Amino acid sequence: MRVPEFKIMSDPVHGFVSVPHGLLYDLVQTPEVQRLRRIRQLGVGYLVFPGAEHSRFGHALGAMALTRDALRELMDKGTPISHDEIEGTMAAALLHDVGHGPFSHTLERDLIPGFAHEDMSRVVMDRLRERFPGRLDLAIKIFDNAYERPFFHQLISSQIDMDRLDYLRRDAFYTGVSEGVVGVNRIIKTMLVSPVEGGPDSRIAIQAKGAYAVENFIVARRLMYWQVYLHRAVIAGDHILRSIFRRVRVLGSDAPDASPNLMFFLQRDVDPTQIADPDVYRHYCDLDDTDILVSLKTWKHAADPILADLSRRFIDRDFLRVEFKSEETSVAEQDQLREATENWMRQRSLLVPETNLPDPSYYLTFGHSSHEAYVPKGMQIAIVDRAGDLHELSEIPEMTAIAALSVPITKHYVFAPKDLTYPSGSSI
Amino acid sequence: MRVPEFKIMSDPVHGFVSVPHGLLYDLVQTPEVQRLRRIRQLGVGYLVFPGAEHSRFGHALGAMALTRDALRELMDKGTPISHDEIEGTMAAALLHDVGHGPFSHTLERDLIPGFAHEDMSRVVMDRLRERFPGRLDLAIKIFDNAYERPFFHQLISSQIDMDRLDYLRRDAFYTGVSEGVVGVNRIIKTMLVSPVEGGPDSRIAIQAKGAYAVENFIVARRLMYWQVYLHRAVIAGDHILRSIFRRVRVLGSDAPDASPNLMFFLQRDVDPTQIADPDVYRHYCDLDDTDILVSLKTWKHAADPILADLSRRFIDRDFLRVEFKSEETSVAEQDQLREATENWMRQRSLLVPETNLPDPSYYLTFGHSSHEAYVPKGMQIAIVDRAGDLHELSEIPEMTAIAALSVPITKHYVFAPKDLTYPSGSSI
Amino acid sequence: MRVPEFKIMSDPVHGFVSVPHGLLYDLVQTPEVQRLRRIRQLGVGYLVFPGAEHSRFGHALGAMALTRDALRELMDKGTPISHDEIEGTMAAALLHDVGHGPFSHTLERDLIPGFAHEDMSRVVMDRLRERFPGRLDLAIKIFDNAYERPFFHQLISSQIDMDRLDYLRRDAFYTGVSEGVVGVNRIIKTMLVSPVEGGPDSRIAIQAKGAYAVENFIVARRLMYWQVYLHRAVIAGDHILRSIFRRVRVLGSDAPDASPNLMFFLQRDVDPTQIADPDVYRHYCDLDDTDILVSLKTWKHAADPILADLSRRFIDRDFLRVEFKSEETSVAEQDQLREATENWMRQRSLLVPETNLPDPSYYLTFGHSSHEAYVPKGMQIAIVDRAGDLHELSEIPEMTAIAALSVPITKHYVFAPKDLTYPSGSSI
Amino acid sequence: MRVPEFKIMSDPVHGFVSVPHGLLYDLVQTPEVQRLRRIRQLGVGYLVFPGAEHSRFGHALGAMALTRDALRELMDKGTPISHDEIEGTMAAALLHDVGHGPFSHTLERDLIPGFAHEDMSRVVMDRLRERFPGRLDLAIKIFDNAYERPFFHQLISSQIDMDRLDYLRRDAFYTGVSEGVVGVNRIIKTMLVSPVEGGPDSRIAIQAKGAYAVENFIVARRLMYWQVYLHRAVIAGDHILRSIFRRVRVLGSDAPDASPNLMFFLQRDVDPTQIADPDVYRHYCDLDDTDILVSLKTWKHAADPILADLSRRFIDRDFLRVEFKSEETSVAEQDQLREATENWMRQRSLLVPETNLPDPSYYLTFGHSSHEAYVPKGMQIAIVDRAGDLHELSEIPEMTAIAALSVPITKHYVFAPKDLTYPSGSSI
């Protein structure tokens, strides 16, 4: 029997995922990619949607698999694509989010202020390039959008890229939010490169018959944002976690022990410019959700009452409350809530040891979430008609709703203790 | 073992469907409801989506089952509902479309000019009322929206009724159009009666947290219209079938035999006012898709070349072509196409025997499809906020897309032979 | 844009099915294959499992699609396969059951005594060969198992062929019997040709790691037989239909009208040797489920009381009862039941007009169903171990259950009126 | 709006799971149950099946939900069941596995020699009983099989209990092994209590028509064992993890730091008799998968080469190999392999520091897996016929395969380095 060309992996979302032996399989086996198994795709989302315990590893494989499907479709429609281009685009898809840290987006800016995971993905790619000399150059060019055929980059990063198609399908699957299901296959089957020659002007376009599936994708994505990613309880979990990290930073050297890798980041102020530093890199690549959770389990026994309380709340899923409001909270109400929160903290002896006073900022936040379902700047999603002409999705006459969906929606909220008694008796 | 209260039926869409023994099971067993097994839910749709061979029977059961789920949810949320009201609403759901004729909507107005299947559903209910004396009164009141608690009627007939929830879910399932999947359970789980007392003013409302699922339902329904119900090839099939029936009517007594039940309707001009006539009723209730198909198989051997050709085309799925156009076909182009069609018919000897001339109207039609995803007149879909206030869906600030979706979309099309040669060389 | 190589069809079971343009697409478009849309895959099964309204058309496409998947897998594992072999095997899969008649197996031997649908499939292939000269030769060779590489035939016809894999998966899907789901993909992914060279000795084998999936397939198939194909109510429906046809034959020229195509077969005794006769062929290829149903709707108004009663029962799904028994019904009990049935018929005036006597054989049958989950004769299913040696499935040590499943199971039953009163008071 | 009676949770496996407010919701909120979110259901299985990252939390909810479905079915069939019995049985289902430790079964006996998670579940229940005085007595009685109506216990613990139905369905879902899907709904819908009165003799039985679904469940469970739970790579992962813990114990005080909770167990020899000790209990309930993973990430930098190597291997998923063998490895071959492993270790400097010698036992194990699909001792699964008589499943004539499936299957295997060179050139 010939050595099979693929490693077959079972994937409940897409069925089987085939990983070609060679560069792609070797990349999957790197510690950097294996680490994604220890980073939850939806951060604290699993505490709200019990099924959503899936990691970034499955998403990386899925985005790579959809990329292969899309490339095959483009070739079927007449665009010549070389083996190297296939491998490069798939590698870029596999690695596009490899720089994510613990709990994905939640702590992104709390561990390293000013950090962006995309920059870290790029650093990881550079390191892997050293280990696979000459074999990742094209992948990085495509990732950087520096390759002469830009449509490969569009599969990796655009408003209808394989990243989005996979994560929506996957997150809908694991959360059980069936209406988030997107017609991934139909969208891919209506993709082509236009003009087909594949020169510098050519780009990914969707055949007109796929426009409704694209509209549905945009609406489903919007639904997933408000129903899942920005769910009230998810925001509450995010805030608790971020309050905990703020508190630990304030405690400084008084902070209790954390896991060794987390300690590294808490004991110094790593700067986004330092992420390629070997020491930072090594500790970052060893850091994942488990460091956070183990540390929280230690911190819930901390001497500091605020750190202990917040850590216990996160571990035991005893969340605070997030309430959406139609408009920004007025200054007067903010003051009332601050006072109420201080009283609430006093009753529970949640006082800052140095001052013996409550600091409500750990328990009370006025924030907002905002989301733009579609940003029709330039030619974001191109629809190609039967004559071969391209039109921006929002300009198709029957896609009138797209313009309406392009209005960013902002929702204000208050994050506060659940059992707060208001001085005025007003309710949030 | 106690006699079980339900007859369990396997349903691939909802899992199991439980039919309560008693009135509801007895209704399911009537010839009128069993006949729905012989009427395809999507008319000619199965010729375009091979999996969509499902009948109206499954949909009737499904709408009834979802109605029970919805009623249970309303009761869980504090609205008192009696056993009779449950049974009556479920019966109304089961029977809501029982008046449909062969190929559902396609031939609705060709068998009996001016006919509306809803009127026939009402006639069937009256007949069943005679057979189940006193036991269908409430169901009919609810169907007629004459019952004092109008929210039951809204479950049966409104822009978010159980009919729509079931058929979208079901048609998406059988066609394989996964993006048509609607969060039926989520929508039902966010339903309540508001105000809860259930008086004449109270109505079905959706909790604010369900608004995105409702938006998704409207967009998915729109997608199903353009992608499935008004698919080009489906329209082509509809037109062939209707051309056939027009031709048969023209042939009059020269028309070849049809099945006995179909013959009854072809040999006289039944009027919508006569549908309750015992003879009409009996033949109508014996008429279904099989009469049409058997007759077409006879007619493809007819002496009349047009009838024979069209019948063969339908049976062998050798369709004509439907082309959507951005605007109405100009008079000049219509003339060109008419001439081309006449030539095409002459080449194939598709001539009207009496005149020895081609009549292009059987092969060439200029039509349009139009669909309005949502009609926000009055309070169509009511969203209830946490304070208990009702808002029409399209007035919720974040539902901006709904207004855009409320614009009716019209698409013009030409139905014509596939291999037409244009006199001018222009293409459609 | 290059002309796409495939016609994509939506299939709810496998997602999308790709039909290659050229021979295969042209075959799909023939009247012979399109006719399969009018023959239900499960015969009367839709009257018991409301979702199982699917036709043989979808199954033909599905078997063809799985064949392509299997061939691709074999090639990936090193077996060279030519384009012609791919096309030929797929064509054979598409056409393997094209000879089925109305209601699939139910009436197989009642329309043409001694008929076997496989023979008709072969006749259809010959006719198609005339229309596609030279292009179906290989397909027919493979179908006939006359091709020099026998493993292609095994994909089409063996105890683990693509026919079985598709129909089990498909029937489980449409009936909603989820436990009938078979790991089709896993089985195909463990297939290879052994020895790989593909000579006359080489055959389809399953890698050892696939043995459990194969065992599960055999058990699931068994479950589908007893739970679906041989379900009590399905047998009841079969018997009613067959009683009707027996009665019509007895009535001879006194029989009321049927649809023209059915009339052809009822008015003469077609012999299995005549199925290639042009006239027989033409009428057979025009005959489908709709002829039966339309005729039954006529016959329920027949003068003959037995024909009228049985026809109405089938149309209105007012079935008789089938009761399984642990052993054959004793002669004494048979006599009792016969007497009871005669009384029952007398009470309902179901008398044979000529004699004015009841003939219980139309309403009472003593029959049996039997099924053998697996027949381990010769090398039916070959398992290949890591050393490349082949073992018959039932000889693998851990597959002990296979031998037990190879014992044919026979169940005796009585088909009789539901409300029969027994002379002795005993119950069935 | 009335306060809803249920907390609705989204579950991708069963749709929605309803948790009744009151005792059951309060139990779900306890730290003991929340901790299950941090224990993977399939131990190291997620390293082989990337989708199988689900925790024991979802399974606990699922088993509870299926228990409610089963109880409802029993009541529908005439068995009176009180509110307290419903709550008690559901609570027992929720808590049945609450005592599981990190990586579920893998480390069960390595952290506390002689430990059984069932005993710990019982201890947790006792602790919760103190916190919910009087409200868990019935649940514990049912769990202990000390309640006067034994059929409740059978739902919690028997060869066809809700635990098994949920975990098979759930694990098949997340691993993507579709053929493991069990007809959970069909099995529950054929359950009843027999005799129905519910006295001490009455028990859970399955109606005869459910026997095939039960057979399928047993075969599917067997498939899941060999295909998933005892998959070669899963066994390899288990062995690496266990080798690591053996090494850490040997290192004793020389072992590098672990997470605080793990340290507690590594620094003393906790005895199964001490698990109710407050200190042990507190640390155990704080211990989960994250402690193991964080500690391994520390240990891969350990001075001890064996600990460092094994830890790195687990974290980076650089597994050793497990090879199944048809029979036990001979002593001669064992010796050869031991020598080869020692050479392999020497080449890699994997030497025990004290002796400077390799100890192959960390890298080479001769083991066996065994599984018995069904144990037909006594009346394990009772099938009730139409006359109300009970039969043990394996005694039903058509269930001949069950006896064959009751034979325990044992597979021997060798766990060894992947790239071992055999002295003799023989291969494993």
Q: D180 falls in which pLDDT band (50, 70, 90)? A: confident
Looking at beta carbons, which residues of chain C come within 8 Å of A185?
15-16
User: What integer pLDDT is reported at residue D360 of this predicted model?
Assistant: 97
Concatenated DSSP letters for D161-218?
A: -HHHHHHHHHHHHHHT-GGG---HHHHHHTEEEESTT--TT-EEEEEGGGHHHHHHHH
Mean confidence (pLDDT) of chain B: 92
User: What integer pLDDT is reported at residue B119 of this predicted model?
Assistant: 93
Q: C4 falls in which pLDDT band (50, 70, 90)? A: low
C185 contacts A2? CB cut-off 8 A = no
Give the list of residues 6+ apart from residue B408 with CB closer than 8 angstroms, or none.
B370, B371, B372
Q: B232 falls in which pLDDT band (50, 70, 90)? A: very high
Reading the block at residue A100, the tokens are 């994510």
Question: How far is C125 from C32, CA to CA, in rounded Å?
Answer: 10
Question: How far is C284 from C291, CA to CA, in rounded Å?
Answer: 11
User: What integer pLDDT is reported at residue C196 of this predicted model?
Assistant: 76
User: What integer pLDDT is reported at residue A427 of this predicted model?
Assistant: 45
Neighbours of chain D (3+ CB pairs under 8 A): A, B, C
Using the predicted structure, report yes or no on whether residue A73 has a pLDDT greater than 70: yes
Using the predicted structure, report yes or no on whether residue B341 has a pLDDT greater than 70: yes
C78 contacts A2? CB cut-off 8 A = yes
Looking at beta carbons, which residues of chain A come within 8 Å of D47?
37
Reduced to 3 states (helix: H, G, I; strand: E, B; else coil), residue A94 is helix
Using the predicted structure, report yes or no on whether residue A99 has a pLDDT greater than 70: yes
Beta strands of C316-402 (E only): which ranges? 321-325, 365-371, 382-384, 390-392
Q: C325 falls in which pLDDT band (50, 70, 90)? A: confident
Q: A421 falls in which pLDDT band (50, 70, 90)? A: low
Using the predicted structure, report yes or no on whether residue B122 has a pLDDT greater than 80: yes
Distance (Å) from the alpha carbon of C152 to chain A's nearest alpha carbon:
18
Using the predicted structure, report yes or no on whether residue B196 has a pLDDT greater than 80: no
Mutation site for B-interface testing, chosen from A14, A177, A178, A214 by largest number of B Cβ within 10 Å: A178
Q: How much is the average pLDDT of C5-27?
A: 92
User: What integer pLDDT is reported at residue A4 of this predicted model?
Assistant: 57
Higher per-residue confidence, C326 vs D29:
D29
A192 contacts C78? CB cut-off 8 A = no
Looking at beta carbons, which residues of chain A come within 8 Å of D297?
259-261, 286, 290-291
Using the predicted structure, report yes or no on whether residue D406 has a pLDDT greater than 90: no
- CA dihedral D201→D207→D210→D214, nearest 10 degrees, is 10
Mean confidence (pLDDT) of chain A: 92
Least CB-CB distance to C212: which of D215, D216, D227?
D227
| Nearest-Cα residue of chain D relative to residue A56 | D50
Chain D contacts in chain B segment 388-417 (CB below 8 A) = 388
Note whether C121 and C95 are within 8 A (CB).
Answer: yes
Q: Which of B340, B343, B321 is nearest to B332 (CA)?
A: B340
Least CB-CB distance to A37: which of D46, D57, D174?
D46
User: What integer pLDDT is reported at residue D228 of this predicted model?
Assistant: 95
Question: How far is A18 from C414, CA to CA, in rounded Å?
Answer: 52
B177 contacts A401? CB cut-off 8 A = no
* Stated length of chain C: 428
Looking at beta carbons, which residues of chain A come within 8 Å of D289?
290
Q: How much is the average pLDDT of D61-75?
A: 96
Please give the helix or strand (H or E) that residue B322 lies within, else none.
Answer: strand B321-325
Other beta carbons within 10 angstroms of residue A23's beta carbon come to 18
C1 contacts A185? CB cut-off 8 A = no
User: What integer pLDDT is reported at residue B19 of this predicted model?
Assistant: 95
User: What integer pLDDT is reported at residue D124 of this predicted model?
Assistant: 97
Higher per-residue confidence, B106 vs C59:
C59
Q: How much is the average pLDDT of C232-236?
A: 96
User: What integer pLDDT is reported at residue D422 of this predicted model?
Assistant: 57
Distance (Å) from the alpha carbon of C231 to chain D's nearest alpha carbon:
10
| Nearest-Cα residue of chain A relative to residue B224 | A212
User: What integer pLDDT is reported at residue D75 of this predicted model?
Assistant: 92
A405 contacts B400? CB cut-off 8 A = yes
Mean confidence (pLDDT) of chain C: 92
Sheet holding C382-384, edge to edge: C191-194, C203-207, C382-384, C390-392
Using the predicted structure, report yes or no on whether residue C5 has a pLDDT greater than 80: no
**To the nearest whole percent, how much of chain A has pLDDT over 90?**
76
Reading the block at residue C273, the tokens are 């040797």
| A57 lies within 8 A of chain D by CB | yes
Using the predicted structure, report yes or no on whether residue B313 has a pLDDT greater than 90: yes
Question: How far is C360 from C338, CA to CA, in rounded Å?
Answer: 6
Q: How much is the average pLDDT of D243-248?
A: 96
Q: C425 falls in which pLDDT band (50, 70, 90)? A: very low
Using the predicted structure, report yes or no on whether residue D25 has a pLDDT greater than 60: yes
Long-range contacts of A2-9 (CB under 8 A, 24+ apart): A2/C77, A2/C78, A2/C196, A4/C76, A4/C77, A5/C76, A6/C76, A8/C189, A9/A61, A9/D50
Neighbours of chain A (3+ CB pairs under 8 A): B, C, D
User: What integer pLDDT is reported at residue D428 of this predicted model?
Assistant: 40
Reduced to 3 states (helix: H, G, I; strand: E, B; else coil), residue D325 is strand
Least CB-CB distance to C77: which of A1, A189, A388?
A1
Distance (Å) from the alpha carbon of C211 to chain D's nearest alpha carbon:
9
Using the predicted structure, report yes or no on whether residue D246 has a pLDDT greater than 90: yes
| D387 lies within 8 A of chain B by CB | no
Least CB-CB distance to C185: which of A4, A15, A76?
A15
Least CB-CB distance to B50: which of C11, C175, C289?
C11
D46 contacts A176? CB cut-off 8 A = no
Distance (Å) from the alpha carbon of D191 to chain C's nearest alpha carbon:
17
Higher per-residue confidence, A1 vs D203:
D203
The interaxial angle of helices C232-251 and C305-315, nearest 10 deg, is 150
Q: Which of D286, C50, D325 is nearest to B54 (CA)?
A: C50
Q: C423 falls in which pLDDT band (50, 70, 90)? A: low
Pairing of strands C321-325, C409-416: antiparallel
Least CB-CB distance to C49: which of B10, B47, B289?
B10
Other beta carbons within 10 angstroms of residue C379's beta carbon come to 14
Distance (Å) from the alpha carbon of B314 to chain A's nearest alpha carbon:
24
Q: How much is the average pLDDT of B371-385?
A: 87
Q: B93 falls in which pLDDT band (50, 70, 90)? A: very high
Using the predicted structure, report yes or no on whether residue D162 has a pLDDT greater than 60: yes
Using the predicted structure, report yes or no on whether residue C67 has a pLDDT greater than 70: yes
Using the predicted structure, report yes or no on whether residue C227 has a pLDDT greater than 80: yes
A398 contacts B409? CB cut-off 8 A = yes
Concatenated DSSP letters for C185-243?
A: HHHHHTEEEESTT--TT-EEEEEGGGHHHHHHHHHHHHHHIIIIIT-HHHHHHHHHHHH
Other beta carbons within 10 angstroms of residue D389's beta carbon come to 11
Looking at beta carbons, which residues of chain D come within 8 Å of A257?
260
- pLDDT tens for each residue of D91-136: 999 999 999 999 988 888 888 888 999 999 999 999 999 999 999 9
Q: How much is the average pLDDT of D27-50?
A: 97
D409 contacts C216? CB cut-off 8 A = no
Looking at beta carbons, which residues of chain D come within 8 Å of A296?
none
| Nearest-Cα residue of chain C relative to residue A386 | C1
Least CB-CB distance to C4: which of A2, A76, A185?
A76
| Nearest-Cα residue of chain D relative to residue B385 | D1
| Nearest-Cα residue of chain C relative to residue A80 | C2
A77 contacts C2? CB cut-off 8 A = yes
D217 contacts C223? CB cut-off 8 A = no
User: What integer pLDDT is reported at residue A387 of this predicted model?
Assistant: 85
Note whether C143 and C122 are within 8 A (CB).
Answer: yes
Q: B105 falls in which pLDDT band (50, 70, 90)? A: confident
- SS3 track for chain B: CCCCCEEEEEECCCEEEEEECCHHHHHHCCHHHHHHHHCECCHHHHHCCCCCCCEHHHHHHHHHHHHHHHHHHHHHCCCCCCHHHHHHHHHHHHHCCCCCCCCCCCCHHHHCCCCCHHHHHHHHHHHHHHHCCCCCHHHHHHHCCCCCCCHHHHHHCCCCCHHHHHHHHHHHHHHCCHHHCCCHHHHHHCEEEECCCCCCCCEEEEEHHHHHHHHHHHHHHHHHHHHHHCCHHHHHHHHHHHHHHHHHHHHHHHCCCCCHHHHHHHCCCCCHHHCCCHHHHHHHHHCCHHHHHHHHHHHCCCCCHHHHHHHHHHHCCCCCEEEEECCCCCHHHHHHHHHHHHHHHHHCCCCECCCCECCHHHCCEEEEEEECCCCCCCCCCEEECCCCCEEEHHHCHHHHHHHHHCCCEEEEEEEECCCCCCCCCCCC
Q: How much is the average pLDDT of B318-347?
A: 94
Other beta carbons within 10 angstroms of residue B391's beta carbon come to 18
Note whether A316 and D34 are within 8 A (CB).
Answer: yes
| C366 lies within 8 A of chain D by CB | no
Q: How much is the average pLDDT of B144-158?
A: 96
- pLDDT tens for each residue of D230-244: 999 999 999 999 999
User: What integer pLDDT is reported at residue B1 of this predicted model?
Assistant: 44
Using the predicted structure, report yes or no on whether residue A197 has a pLDDT greater than 80: no
Using the predicted structure, report yes or no on whether residue B400 has a pLDDT greater than 80: no
Using the predicted structure, report yes or no on whether residue A104 has a pLDDT greater than 90: no
Domains with residue ranges and CATH for chain B: 6-230+383-399 (1.10.3210.10), 236-369 (1.20.1250.30)
Note whether A101 and A200 are within 8 A (CB).
Answer: no
Least CB-CB distance to C183: which of D178, D212, D401?
D178
Reading the block at residue B359, the tokens are 């009549």
Q: B190 falls in which pLDDT band (50, 70, 90)? A: very high
| B427 lies within 8 A of chain A by CB | no
Chain A contacts in chain C segment 163-192 (CB below 8 A) = 185, 189, 192
Distance (Å) from the alpha carbon of C313 to chain B's nearest alpha carbon:
10
User: What integer pLDDT is reported at residue B336 of this predicted model?
Assistant: 94
User: What integer pLDDT is reported at residue C421 of this predicted model?
Assistant: 67
User: What integer pLDDT is reported at residue A165 of this predicted model?
Assistant: 96
Note whether D30 and D42 are within 8 A (CB).
Answer: no
Question: How far is A262 from A257, CA to CA, in rounded Å?
Answer: 9
